[in-house]
Structure 1
Amino acid sequence: MDKQQLGAFLRSRRERLRPEDVGLTAGPRRRTSGLRREEVAVLAHISTEYYVRLEQGRAPRPSAEVLAGIAGALLLTDAESDHLHVLAGTAPSRTGTHRRDVRPSILALLERLPRTAGFVVSATFEVLACNDLMAALMEDFRELPPRDRNLARRAFLEQRELYGVSDASEFRHHVVMRLRSALARYPADPEVSGLVEELRAGSAEFARLWERHDVQAAPVLTKTFRHPAVGEITVDCDSLALEDRDQYLVLYSAVPGSRDAEALALLDVLGTQTLTTG
């Protein structure tokens, strides 16, 4: 149970709600827009004192029933409710370090995908594997040391445009949410905690987003790249969870016959030479 993070998460969820969101009236004397602690306690069917102690990081581990009541009172989504259980220590946790070895069948799949750029990322956004088309579209991560393959570092610490993508701001928000969940799952992994601290110290934007305690991102369905060789390419973006290793297989493809599909096909022919000629 991470008492301090649990308390901070509960506060952040309580303060985002308005009384009318849960069927209450604001009243003339309300000074803040969020719910009061006593209101959450009533809605969750627990004592105000106990809820206050939870937010202050002084309460013992709550039961699953109490957590369910709090999740309902705060209108948590499924992802937020899962995160609540992780912080409270009532969900299965991963006690070791996050895995960086990619399943051989996934590596083989990457090479067999027709005209689809694909890569695998770890729980900390390290690119663990990619195919040739992905290398041509973005960068050949296979040639880089592990530290330089990390998309979180590139998004927040490098002073350059992130591969000309259209959703750089949304991606940075997504990174923060995924890293918060990873830190809850791997509290003893020094690579996870070290990366979070590095980003908090090195990026004011990361630090600001981190304090929001968000854990659920809207899915990215399309993404547009501005490529120096073939111009703009808009692709469908599919992210598939590889749950046995806590990794994601990310695939970029285009509608057959479209201009974007033709641009991907050209990149497939040109390969990574487009990155070095010029």
Structure 2
Amino acid sequence: MDKRADLGRFLRRRRETAPPLVTTGSRRRTPGLRREEVAELASISTVYYERLEQGRGSLPSAPVLGGLAQALRLDDDARDHLYRLAGHAPPVRPGNGEDVDPALDYVMGAVAGTTPASITDGLGDVLKQNRLNRELLGDVSGLPGWEANLTWRWFTSPAWRDLMEPRDQHEASGLAYAADLRAGLARREPDARAAALLADLLAASEEFVEAWDRHVVSALHCAAKVIDHPEVGRIDLECSVITSPTSPQRLLLLKPTPGTPSAARIGRLAAPYNQCVVTPLADS
């Protein structure tokens, strides 16, 4: 696929369908924007912009793409597509901080009585857990430093990962965490927090260094979990990851493995939370 040609076609089509500039007394014979108008709004030369539409020359830099996205009034999805056509990672969308994605939060609440779940940001920081998740994995969200970060906990807390998985899965899971972090960093614009997490992991864990040096890049996929709970016994879980379409956040669901008594055992843990008091209607 010729990225330059695809980029040119995309720019031309979006320019032709962009809202036209309105000036007093002007009459537009054609819809959209003129090339020189896009160039002026994006703070680049008209000649350079024409070359981009023609699929010629070098691919634009990230700052130029930002100017083009503003000039053409692209929404987030179209802007991200523009960056990818030019070979750049799209800028991180708003919502990568402490504000929990409302759609993911709704789903987590909907399954709270049956499924342990948590929401993480693009770096793997746990932003929120439901009661069952805290019951099985401990209260992680809101801890200071990197203690709320799943990748950090995996590589620096052997007791915590022993709680979740058999040791014969640890190498594969460690590689998956490192690969997900590499993918997450590739999607972000450089920032101090991401750089600090990587530097601290490289300094703290030789195991992480080995996994990082393998240069595997992949979105997070969770291995099956086996948790021996002191009250209800062994719980076998399958992990599913749901990504948000509007933010870098993800919902991690731990579903009881079919064919095992895990669902009933989770039900016993959830019983105190699921009980509700029904108030009879007053006689009319």
Q: Normalising by the residue count of structure 2, what TM-score does the alignment of the two structures yield?
A: 0.58
Counterpart of 1:107? 105
Tell me the percent identity. Answer: 25
* 1:68 equivalent in structure 2: none
Q: Secondary structure at the match of 2:159?
A: coil
- The corresponding residue for 1:245 is 247
Q: CA deviation at 1:152?
A: 1.2
Instruction: Indicate conservation of the 8 Å contact 1:120/1:247, yes or no.
Output: yes
Q: Look up the match of 2:120.
A: 121
- Any stretches of 5+ residues in structure 1 without a counterpart? 1-59, 64-84, 272-278
Q: What is the Cα deviation at residue 110 of structure 1?
A: 1.6
Q: Which residue of 2 aligns with 1:67?
A: none
Structure 2: which 5+ residue stretches go unaligned?
Answer: 1-56, 61-82, 274-284
User: Shift of the alpha carbon at 1:62?
Assistant: 7.9
Structure 2 CA distance for partners of 1:98 and 1:214, relative to 1, 3 Å: farther
Match of 1:226 in 2: 228
Aligned positions of 1:12-31 closer than 5 A: none
Which amino acid is the alignment partner of residue 93 of structure 1? P
For residue 217 of structure 2, the aligned residue among 212, 215, 218 is 215
Q: Partner letter of residue 106 of structure 1?
A: L
Give 2:191's aligned residue: 189
The whole-number CA distance in structure 2 between the counterparts of 1:102 and 1:239 is: 16
SS at match of 1:268: helix
Tell me if the contact between 1:133 and 1:268 (Cα under 8 Å) persists in the aligned partners.
Answer: yes
CA distance in 2, matches of 1:153, 1:228: 25
Q: Give the structure 1 partner of residue 87 of structure 2.
A: 90
How far apart in 2 are the matches of 1:115 and 1:149?
Answer: 23
State how far apart, in whole Å, the 2-side matches of 1:249 and 1:105 are.
10
- Once the two structures are superposed, the pairs formed by residues 128-147 of structure 1 within 5 Å of their partners are 128-142=127-141, 144-145=143-144, 147=146
**1:97, CA displacement in angstroms?**
8.2
Letter in 2 for 1:226: D
Q: Is the Cα contact below 8 Å between 1:126 and 1:146 reproduced in 2?
A: no
The residue identity in structure 2 corresponding to 1:108 is Y
Q: Is the 8 A contact 1:137 1:267 kept in 2?
A: no
Is the 8 Å Cα contact of residues 120 and 127 (structure 1) preserved in structure 2? yes
- The amino acid that maps onto 2:124 is F
Q: How far did residue 230 of structure 1 move?
A: 2.2
Matches within 5 A, 1:251-266: 251-254=253-256, 258-266=260-268
Partner Cα separation in structure 1 for residue 220 and residue 188 of structure 2: 23
Which deviations, in whole Å up to 9, do the C-alpha atoms of 1:132-159 show, x marking residues without a partner? 1111111122463463211111111234
Please give the alpha-carbon distance, in whole angstroms, between the structure 2 residues aligned to 1:221 and 1:187. Answer: 29
Judge conservation of contact 1:95–1:188 (CA < 8 Å) in 2. Answer: no
Moved more, 197-206 or 166-175: 166-175
* CA separation of 1:221 and 1:62: change in aligned 2, threshold 3 A: same
Of structures 1 and 2, the one with the larger relative CO (CA 8 A, separation 6+) is 1
Please tell me the residue identity of whatever aligns with 1:173.
Answer: L
CA distance in 1 between partners of 2:127 and 2:152 (Å): 15
1:79 corresponds in structure 2 to: none
- 1:269 is aligned, of 244, 268, 271, to 271
| SS class of match (1:141) | coil
